Structure 1
């Protein structure tokens, strides 16, 4: 197996905050303090030689006050990033399709005032389908800012089925989509290569990549290493796994060193280097 030392690893899939739905189902418990959460994340990163992490909200947060709660979540993610900007080198904000036109202003605030690099959705926790009609207005706003859209397509959610992402990718061919959790079942892993071949504006991460039939080498052979990003789907609470499988699978794979270097960090740096918010954009 190749050594971690050969690569400067960027993990683009870290959630910040408590995943309430899973925490309740698994018996709850007390969420760590901010300092303890940061310490656990940095320990995980150091243990697995992850140089940088891209952080995003933990979806499923209580939102009795609607958009105001989402704003507080985005503020928290930005504060978290600012505690260790050398390790948490990019942050993503979120809005809900149910928050309507007011969420467009929150997208602007995330990308300009808070300095976030993109907007992320996890529709199964936000209670809507991936191709919700409001998504068109949101995605048009991202295009004005010149940033990508991050969306989850985890295999156990019909709200996030990949065919819904295909609809959005067709409707917005000039926007880059980052599909998270696409290799989260054997059946869906087969689907990703086909989806990638038909939709050049979608790139993929390795989050929730399962240990069998994920076909990552086949994907790279047919589509190219440039369409794949390392993501581990890390939550500090509740703890979801002990071993970031995708890192070690890539290190042990038959991919070339150049392909591994691209997936493990190079592609992420290129993506965000080309995704600087346009602070001068007018939305009148």
Structure 2
């Protein structure tokens, strides 16, 4: 019997403290309740995102999962809470609050939820310390990180000790776009979500490859949100750049060689795109993910995989659940 695991869902504590008041800063996300079943995430006194109680209430989530035939959700923080711009001490407080909440939610519903944590990547030593706590004390199964750290790409030298420990401890990473490039050109049409985020994710993936991170740490387990954004489709262009600019090379093989190490969620809305990704990366590298509970999410989760006509039932079963459990080192888990 197949197990359907939604790898890409977000959660936030209903009682998230007002960090803007606590630390006197206007960049902190603040949860402002608007009604019994909803709230606004406020940043700098402006509405960043409207949310419903689905984003904090595990029972509401379970009701939706029952209706949409999802066995388990993998919970991760909302990227606006990464707070890499803050001091390491302040960001660590924010990370610990969320990690404790996610761990407690998993503890209360161990057959429905799996938890990913967050760490203050702006300070590598602090990030490693909180990752250690997440994995070895709280029992979380991986870490969600952003696509850049205050404008520095993921191949920044300061991050190498973090990636080294991820490989040593076999900690899976979920890379989610945040603070996207070109935001100043995307105020209209919500282009930050539809164009900026996919482009930002491609930049992160390309940086990890071209900067030599994947070559140096080949056992890293990294999954990219939103089907890898535009990365799968520009990979041949990255190969061509590596070929024609040998003086810029920091890696021995073309980028497509290292891209085989990556994993991707399935959130690209089109069975044709899913088939393309299977052809390029393999069916063992794609995991069903919906972006629950936000507006751009796939409803029902996994529909794009179910509708991919050229996939076998075995391939679909792997992508709908088995791959996620294997990625998170939980292959022994059985359907409830």
CA contact (8 A) 1:139 1:149 kept: no
**Alpha-carbon spacing, 1:224–1:114, altered in 2? closer, same or farther (3 Å):** same
**1:260 is aligned to 2:260:** no
1:80-121 CA distance string (max 9 Å, x none): 222211100x21111122133122111111111101111110
Match of 1:173 among 189, 204, 218: 218
Single out whichever of 137-146 and 11-20 deviates more from structure 2. 11-20
CA contact (8 A) 1:151 1:178 kept: yes
> Equivalent residue for 1:55?
75
- Cα distance in structure 1, aligned partners of 2:118 and 2:281: 29
- Which structure 2 residue ranges, 5 or more long, are not aligned? 14-27, 31-39, 178-196, 240-254
CA contact (8 A) 1:11 1:265 kept: yes
- Cα distance in structure 1, aligned partners of 2:159 and 2:296: 32
> Equivalent residue for 2:198?
155
Q: CA deviation at 1:257?
A: 0.5
Match of 1:119 among 143, 162, 176: 143
- The structure, 1 or 2, with the larger RCO (C-alpha pairs under 8 Å, 6+ apart) is 1
CA contact (8 A) 2:77 2:98 kept: yes
User: TM-score normalized by structure 2?
Assistant: 0.67
**1:134 is aligned to 2:158:** yes
User: TM-score normalized by structure 1?
Assistant: 0.78
Figure out how many residues of one structure are paired with residues of the other and give that number.
262
Q: Who wins on radius of gyration, i.e. which is larger?
A: 2
- Cα distance in structure 2, aligned partners of 1:97 and 1:78: 20
**1:248 is aligned to 2:288:** no
CA contact (8 A) 1:60 1:125 kept: no
> Equivalent residue for 2:16?
none
- Cα distance in structure 2, aligned partners of 1:82 and 1:30: 24
> Equivalent residue for 2:109?
84
- Which structure 1 residue ranges, 5 or more long, are not aligned? 1-5, 277-284
> Equivalent residue for 1:10?
5
Match of 2:264 among 204, 224, 245: 204
**Alpha-carbon spacing, 1:29–1:262, altered in 2? closer, same or farther (3 Å):** closer
Indicate the RMSD between aligned Cα atoms, in angstroms.
3.3
**1:70 is aligned to 2:95:** yes
> Equivalent residue for 1:234?
292
